[in-house]
Amino acid sequence: MSDHLKNEPASLTAAELAHYAVHGFVVRQNVFDSQECEIFCAAAERVEATMLSLADGVEHSSRYADYRLDGNRFVDVQHVTVQFEHGANARLLRVVEPVNDVEPVFDQLIDDARLCGPMKQLVPSERLGLWTAKLNFKHPRVGSGFGWHQDAPYWIHDSDHVEKLPNVMVMIDDAARSNGCLRVIDGSHRAGCLPGCDDGRQLAGFYTHPDAFDEDAEVLIECPAGSVVFFDPHIVHGSGANTSGSPRRAIIITYQPCGFAALKSGLIRHVGV
């Protein structure tokens, strides 16, 4: 990818904006080239090695918190949360958030014009800030799925502008049904915040109640590595398990208007300045 293209704002077209408004998401394929994806893969490996090492020292540091939610392990290393895989695979990482505070490659990605240009239209704001950035690992054959949920219910207690927190997912690997690609419920964002589940799980309220949306409107986002998906904070989305022999790593970056603190660090992270 040429430096010219890397620095090109690449604003969404009128057709893309219309699709986003109606469907709640828009896909752009091959935004990042294979060399860039290789850099992202190496960065993801460094993140995993670093956070596993830090989590191993949890018993010897007052900076850490080690806890279980619905039986699954979480470790907080200061403000960075590490989610581990479920059951017998609990030695593997599931999510690290905010990953940009762990790995410089991903911190630099936040400022990339190919992401910021469209985000200025979707937030909308001419000046952007970071809300959060998380890395999903989806290890081959063991990466667990994510149940149907909206992002807004996770954030509504920490932000009074959740409607201005759009996401972009950058595919580090090829994404397909077999390795647990992103799935969305087409148009569900137009209903706003939907009711959560009430089945007794600790995190039940963060999963969207199945009676509140039509699962027949599911769209699988299958696309090659280097593609990006912009999606609304109110859209119902999730993913299947990775049953393949290929990883499905992706980073999800959430932007907001500038001047507001990031979700976990409590610091203001200006974008593109």
pLDDT at 58 over 80: no
Residue 132 lies in a domain: yes
Which residues lie below 8 Å from residue 4, measured CB to CB, with a gap of 6+? none
Q: What is the torsional sign of CA 2, 135, 111, 234?
A: positive
Residue 37 lies in a domain: no
Higher-confidence position of 60 and 12: 12
- pLDDT at position 56 is 83
Phi, psi of 246 (to 5 degrees): -115, 140
Residue 62 lies in a domain: no
Residue 255 lies in a domain: yes
- pLDDT at position 273 is 67
How many separate domains does the chain show?
1
Q: Cis peptide leading into 124, omega within 30 of 0?
A: yes
Residue 222 lies in a domain: yes
Structure confidence by residue, pLDDT tens digits, 155-177: 999 999 999 999 999 999 999 99
Residue 273 lies in a domain: no
- pLDDT at position 1 is 40
- pLDDT at position 2 is 39
pTM above 0.85, yes or no: yes
pLDDT at 59 over 90: no
- pLDDT at position 170 is 98
First to last CA, the chain: 22
* CATH code for the domain in which residue 20 is found: 2.60.120.620
pLDDT at 195 over 60: yes
pLDDT at 149 over 70: yes
Residue 39 lies in a domain: no
Angstrom distance (rounded) from CA 254 to CA 269: 12
Q: Which domain holds residue 14?
A: 3-32+112-265
Residue 98 lies in a domain: no
